[in-house]
Amino acid sequence: MIIQLKEDISEKQKASLIQEVNEIGYKITEVKTQLGDYLIGIGKKDFDIRKIGQKEGIKDIHIVSDEYKLVSKKWKVKPTSIDLGDGVYIKDGDMAIIAGPCSIESEEQIRKVVSHLKENGIRMMRGGVFKPRTSPYAFRGMGIDGLKLWYNIARAEGIKIVTEVMQVSQIEEMYPYTDIYQVGARNTQNFNLLDELGKVDKAVMIKRGISGTIEELLQSAEYVFSGGNEKLILCERGIRTYERASRNTLDLNAVPILKSKSHLPVIVDPSHGIGIREFVPQMALAGVMAGADGIIYETHEVPEKAYSDGQQTLDFAQSARLADWIRKTFAMRKTFELL
């Protein structure tokens, strides 16, 4: 059960409400976010919600049977829109494009990528400054100094920054220079990190775990929401299966399923999903037609010289074509939706 509280509810009214719900047999958890106050009731006893809904201080009340409550579409039918400022959105009915290198490598590289994105009307840049690598000897990013450098260059050109946070201690230092915190596949169930990201007033994009289920992805998002942050984005980036012909198996089934279960926007990452450069465009366009609200992919001026993930990274010419194809495919999808 989710009880939405009015902004002007008094502490006395709230205490009375909590007591009454407890007496019915529900355990209450209070959740305060940047957009509203909620009481989450966990219990199995049936009762007439109209008796509770008529009490003073209540905006609305919903019965949600899913294990995840706040990210469920059963109480919030209207899709969540993520406003990054300056006219940049990730939302239902639009097609966000996020592109950039796997790793932030140098000032020269940043300037070239930013210029490429600007030329192609792409307002969001992905890139890693803290890199979780399988090998401890691989390039692990430029760190916070790289993020500050990136921020100064990107902000001057109106480009928003999407970058991965790996541990709790990085959240605060990254905050002034980040528009979207990315939670990578290895950290999707790092619950301490998710709890802390619930305390920040910035968007968080959660990637599906390496072998994670759709339910687990939604529960991870629930951690952040219940911690106080409603600005959430879900990302399908492929899962590990027995198939070895591709890096991962991009589960496009997840896109319409997530859209049916949650009000949160859904992004598809074809670069990690398939891990093979020549097939990234096809999977990106398939993601668009599956109903995604955006595509995030990797691009580099010379992928063969990239410090990481060059095999799945598009060069600038390929990236420009893909951005154009994404927009045209999305327009086609919108036409089909009208039929």
CATH number, domain with residue 285: 3.20.20.70
**Which pLDDT does position 136 carry in this prediction?**
80
Q: How far apart are CA 100 and CA 277, in angstroms?
A: 14
Structure tokens at 290: 């599956």
| Burial of 246: CB neighbours in 10 Å, binned 0-12, 13-18, 19+ | middle
Q: H helices within 79-167, ranges in order?
A: 107-119, 143-156
Q: Tell me whether residue 68 is in a domain.
A: no
Same domain assignment for residues 87 and 136: yes
pLDDT (0 to 100) of residue 159:
98
Quick check: is 67 in a domain?
no
Full residue range of the structural domain in which residue 251 is found? 82-335
**Residues 279 and 314 occupy one common structural domain:** yes
Same-domain check for residues 23 and 113? no
Residues 86 and 235 in one domain: yes
Is 24 among the domain residues? yes
Q: Which two tokens stand for residue 234?
A: 């879900």
Residue 77 lies in a domain: no
Q: Do 16 and 162 share a domain, yes or no? A: no
16 and 96 part of one domain: no
Contacts 24+ apart (CB under 8 A), 25-33: 26/1, 29/226, 31/70, 31/225, 31/226, 31/228, 32/228, 33/225, 33/228, 33/229, 33/230
Distance CA 158, CA 183 (A): 23
pLDDT at site 141: 82
Q: Which of 232, 236, 250, 249 is nearest to 194 (CA)?
A: 232
Tell the residue number behind the tokens 């929401």, with chain if given. Answer: 225
Same domain assignment for residues 266 and 174: yes
For 54, the 3-state DSSP assignment is coil
Same domain, yes or no: 209 and 245? yes
Other Cβ atoms closer than 10 A to 232: 24
- pLDDT of the residue at 46: 77
Same domain, 58 and 86: no
Residue 238, φ and ψ in degrees, nearest 5: 95, 150
Sheet holding 27-32, edge to edge: 27-32, 37-42, 2-5, 58-62
Reduce the DSSP state of residue 33 to 3 states and report it: coil
* Residue whose pair of structure tokens reads 């009340």 in the numeric block: 61
d(CA 274, CA 283): 8
Angle between the N-to-C axes of helices 316-338 and 280-290, in degrees from 0 to 180, rounded to the nearest 10: 20
10-residue stretch averages of pLDDT, the chain, 339 residues long: 94 94 92 95 83 88 93 95 97 97 97 98 97 76 94 98 97 98 97 98 98 98 98 98 96 98 98 98 98 98 96 98 98 88
Count of the separate structural domains present in the chain: 2
Please check whether residues 54 and 111 belong to one and the same domain: no
Q: In this structure, is residue 73 part of a structural domain?
A: no
Pair (49, 173) in one structural domain: no
Q: How far is CA 257 from the centre of its chain?
A: 16
Does 114 share its domain with 167? Answer: yes
Its pTM stands at: 0.95
